[in-house]
Amino acid sequence: MDIPLPNKLVDENQFLTYINQELSETLNRLKLKVFSSKYRQELFGSYTDSRVETISGLLKELHQLIITFDILEEKAKKFRSSFNLVKPLSLKRHHTLAMVFLKEAISSINNSKKKVSQLVLNFELLNKDLEHTKRQKVFHNIKDLFDKLIVEVKENNVRLADFKGRYRVEEYLQKTVQQLLDQNIYRGKGYMLKSGDIFLSFKTKAYLSSEKGPKISNWVSRFSGFQVTHSGIFMIGTGGVPKMIHAFRGFAYGIEDLNLKEGEVYIVLRPKLSGLQRANLWAAIRKRLANLTRYSTAKMLWVVPTVFANKLFHLFGKRVEAGGTLDSVKSKMFCSEFVNQVFLDVGFLLTPKSKYSLDVYPSDIIVSPFVDYVGILFKDDDYTIEKIEQELLKGVKI
């Protein structure tokens, strides 16, 4: 049996997302066609002989959709099997989560096929001369199925692409220490940064254990194993002053000047937003800040038992939602939940968990396949560089 190379897996994963995107575009096109002024009256109005021919054409397209879903399901199963055989991700946590999301993706594909089959049955009903109330029921059934399918397929693209983000992060970690240090945006005085960039704080173990290290970050890192422990959104303030929107423990979320501390590194990511999503992002942030969104200590303190529980429940295909366990008040969020939520508000899914917006950690955001890696940001002094070099040589847990 030939074992596929990691690079071949990357290509296969890219092909999966390509097929899924084609399905998404086809579903959107079909929905627009069915509910256009031309077809809507013919399909759902008074019965005419031409309706049979129109429905026949639509059924052919729907049957082709089912065939494409079958192909996608078969290739996704083959990819999951190859992925498990090759184990291209060195971090066990990444491998486990990628397997879970691939399993969920395959299940979603199967559910989508069933919905398309239901569409076929509903369109076949329209071949009969139905009374008005029954036609209306079929109309609403078809609309509901299209709406659910379009959302389902769009969200499944995030699950299918999850491997890409994790593989990319591990590639970065394989670079030499000097290559990583040379990517310091600070040397360029931050000119590469743009408003809307995501900042993830990577804290070295030396920094976490020092008096300078935030106690809650240290606590979470010690028990979860993550060194990416905080997140925020970058913005350029009045006069070009760099600022960050993030949580201050015990206070409402707010905006403060970007303050680089010794030993702390920010990993900078740029979400692949559409023009409309980028324009709406600031309105979403302003709305959240106006609603006095507060940092939830209770949720953050629940991260450790949640991480432990997830390690067990992943064996059974289940997941614990930290955000909803102790605090149901949506105005209270921990840092990465806030970042995830404002992007969710504009229709941008960062991770496979983003739909739920309850247990998204900074370590989830860093492996998002829908962001570009910009670089790293840290104080450019000998002391900080020495500490960072020591940590990078020991290895990084994300």
- 130: Cβ–Cβ under 8 A, 6 or more apart, which residues? 47, 138
- 146: Cβ–Cβ under 8 A, 6 or more apart, which residues? 27, 30, 31, 34, 119
φ, ψ of residue 167 in degrees (nearest 5): -65, -40
**What is the tens place of the pLDDT at every residue in 293-317?**
554 444 444 444 444 334 433 333 3
Q: With beta carbons less than 8 A apart as the criterion, state whether 24 and 157 touch.
A: yes
3-class secondary structure, 158: helix
| Predicted pLDDT at 206 | 52
Better-scored residue on pLDDT, 165 or 295: 165
> Mean pLDDT over all residues of the chain?
77
Better-scored residue on pLDDT, 394 or 278: 278
| Predicted pLDDT at 372 | 87
| Predicted pLDDT at 334 | 65
| Predicted pLDDT at 310 | 43
* Residue 110: both structure tokens together: 């199967």
User: Per-residue confidence at 151, pLDDT binned at 50, 70, 90?
Assistant: very high
CA torsion through residues 324, 330, 332, 333, sign: positive
| Predicted pLDDT at 1 | 40
Q: What is the mean pLDDT of residues 23-52?
A: 91
* Residue 255: both structure tokens together: 């905006």
Domain spanning 175-394, CATH architecture: Alpha-Beta Complex (3.90)
Q: What is the mean pLDDT of residues 332-354?
A: 81
Q: What is the mean pLDDT of residues 240-250?
A: 73
Given the structure tokens 């309105």, which residue do they identify?
Answer: 283
Query: Shortest CA distance to 43 belongs to which of 139, 172, 148, 144?
Result: 139
Cross-strand bridge partners of residue 265 = 202
123 pLDDT above the threshold of 90: yes
- 395: Cβ–Cβ under 8 A, 6 or more apart, which residues? none
φ, ψ of residue 160 in degrees (nearest 5): -65, -35
> Is the domain 6-166 a CATH 1.20.120 member?
yes
Q: Where are the domains of the chain?
A: 6-166, 175-394
DSSP per-residue codes, 205-216: HHHHHSTTS-HH
19 pLDDT above the threshold of 50: yes
Q: What is the mean pLDDT of residues 51-70?
A: 95
Q: With beta carbons less than 8 A apart as the criterion, state whether 156 and 108 touch.
A: yes
Q: With beta carbons less than 8 A apart as the criterion, state whether 243 and 257 touch.
A: yes
Q: What is the mean pLDDT of residues 173-184?
A: 66
* Residue 362: both structure tokens together: 């900074």
In CATH terms, are 6-166 and 175-394 the same topology?
no
Better-scored residue on pLDDT, 30 or 91: 30
d(CA 87, CA 6): 8
pTM higher than 0.75 for the full model?
Answer: no
The answer to which of 84-88, 262-266, 345-349 has the lowest mean pLDDT is: 262-266
128 pLDDT above the threshold of 50: yes
4 pLDDT above the threshold of 60: no
169 pLDDT above the threshold of 60: yes
Q: What whole-number percentage of the chain has pLDDT above 90?
A: 31
| Predicted pLDDT at 328 | 39
User: Per-residue confidence at 174, pLDDT binned at 50, 70, 90?
Assistant: low
How far, CA to CA in Å, does 393 sit from each of 176, 180, 265?
9, 11, 15
**What is the tens place of the pLDDT at every residue in 268-295?**
889 999 989 988 998 888 888 877 555 4
